[in-house]
Chains A and B, each alone.
Chain A
């Protein structure tokens, strides 16, 4: 058989999608109770979209879990509820506020809830009896993620141990665990931020509107633009400005910053992402700036 150049060649998006579909099917075939972590961010939205394709015409055969810090963008919650009802999937919400009320976690004095998400997540996973947990993390996001497996083994405390990872060869994944141990599964490991956006454009995936440029009242805090809302008010000396912004990542509304942007369509966003010179976490996340190993430390505690 002759194979001239170009024939039987899969584009990068098709290759990445095929890999993600394979991983998701593998998990569903081998684990009794998988669950998909859904934040309403673009990566988890893409992951859910791929899941729908992987099992079509059957429904997505696992629930989605949202760890709700209570600091939400209204647009994101609307989107979440609409999307799960379209797909007919079961939504489980684990509320950080409930855990604070029950006294199982303590609200830090600075009001942030990023760090206390982890025990709430671990508690929800244990209660649900979930043995495999899909996350939308990508390896290009952070150097701790760059070294994490697609099937990331976690001990009974949900902890990641970078020195004790299972070798991962070809597309043969080892999902064997003892009771209490779990596997975090990252089907989008090999995607970059730009791949995600190209895929959103190709598949015409709807996103929460805050991903596109809009006018918003913001304060500039150490070079990051935070929306003024019920969680963030201007401190003394800070000036509230109305600016044209969009969000590059969507997380806790008290920690996630917007970027100045005129990109109000998918094409403009793709162009912007292709030419931007700042990483998305660097531009928008207060939580990863604390130390050089912030992500590594949080993963060791059981974070995604």
Chain B
């Protein structure tokens, strides 16, 4: 059994909470005491039916304000897979939350109301999913029961979205007609839509192949920590601990350490002292080399003939995430990229991107909360990086305000 991480986007009106509630309920992830609580609250509120959306209802702070503040993580499992849902609110601070949820997602699930079809928000969500390079996209056309399960309605939405997705270069798209309220095509195939011959939503989530989405070609091992036991038994032990960010590494492989450029060979790959045949993402391992060379946190182990870019000049798309300050050219920030912390100065804002129209505003001089722009940064030390499209781990970074310590931006590297 493996894990599928997916992000959901959509507003309350699209029936997102009902859909998630339905997945949790039908997969028997919801417990009786949770159902009891939901029934009690439904009754107090005077709801006609038990409101499945309440299963995903959040914090007191949110109920008081009637909004969803933040990404909520939810879990369920089927016999085939464990699922982690990053449930992102559709409205307020939508971009920041969607970007956060999408950053770790294998799949993004976008909901539309069949009666309304695609709206601005659907396109925005699709764009953000592709900006974050989420490998698989599912458009869920919900509330099919309210359009009499009409094939024509579905086909129109399907066609319109497919055309848009092609422009965005979506790699894998599935479009599924459902009724979350009634359960059609959520877990089981619906009897009401005989014209639809695709999978149910759960069936698709169970079977979409994600292991090869990770980069298994370009070996990348950002050194996180050097294990040096202070004991007689392991006096000469020196292990480089980290999580494989790309490719496959095994004993005997010739490797190069960056930024020094020293070469060596892998003596062993270990997990808690046990040798493993090979290491691939996202395994956390300890690597020992045949030669004693000076390696510290922030360095990268790779293959001599397949190296990341080593540069202090970074071209990137960033999403600004802070409400207390704006992105300003000339300002210095802390930057965290893989296991390396450095400082950076904002050299240029090339354009601000309108996430709804994809229009590029080249006159823009700053980025505020939820705004996305193309920037150029200069770092104090070289980053060992790849294009975000090649590797989400070695291509992604965050900017941190040096005064407030707040995480102010997420960045995706797009060097030539």
Contacts and interface: CB of A to CB of B under 8 A. Distances in A.
A7 B2 CA distance: 12
A174 B398 contact: yes
A140 interface: yes
A29 B242 CA distance: 11
A3 interface: yes
Contact of B284 (A29, A54, A177): A54
A26 B224 contact: yes
A132 to B, nearest CB: 14
A80 B270 CA distance: 28
Contacts of A231: none
Interface residues of A, number: 67
Interface stretch (B121-129, B148-156, B191-199, B225-233): B225-233
B282 interface: yes
A290 B354 CA distance: 47
Contacts of B400: 174, 176
Nearest to B32: A277
A147 B59 contact: yes
Q: Is the interface of A mostly helix, strand, loop or mixed?
A: loop
**Listed residue (A9, A292, A296) with the most chain B CB atoms within 10 angstroms of its CB:** A9
Given A57-B227, A168-B100, A282-B33, A296 B60 contact: yes
A165 B230 CA distance: 38
B328 interface: no
B100 A53 contact: no
Interface in B219-243: 224-225, 227-231, 233-234, 237, 241-243
B146 interface: no
Contacts of A5: 209, 211
B241 A54 contact: yes
Interface in B100-118: 100, 103-104
Contact of B2 (A9, A140, A189): A9
8 residue pairs, one from A and one from B, having the closest CB atoms: A282-B33, A53-B272, A58-B229, A21-B284, A293-B60, A169-B103, A9-B211, A18-B284
Interface residues on B, range: 35 or more
Nearest to B81: A12
A167 B101 CA distance: 10
B202 interface: no
Given A9-B211, A174-B400, A178-B405, A25 B241 contact: yes
A18 B60 contact: no
A282 B31 contact: yes
A163 interface: yes
B391 to A, nearest CB: 11
Interface string B60-90: 1110000001111111010001101000000
Contact of B70 (A26, A58, A165, A296): A165
14 contacts: A1-B216, A3-B212, A8-B214, A12-B1, A58-B231, A59-B229, A163-B69, A167-B100, A168-B407, A173-B336, A174-B336, A174-B407, A194-B77, A292-B41
B297 interface: yes
B268 interface: no
B283 A14 contact: yes
Contacts of A283: 33
Interface string B1-35: 11100000000000000000000000000011110
Contacts of A192: 75, 77, 82
A173 B337 CA distance: 10
Contacts of B227: 55-58
A53 B284 CA distance: 10
A146 B283 contact: no
A89 interface: no
B282 to A, nearest CB: 5
Interface string B392-409: 110011101000011100
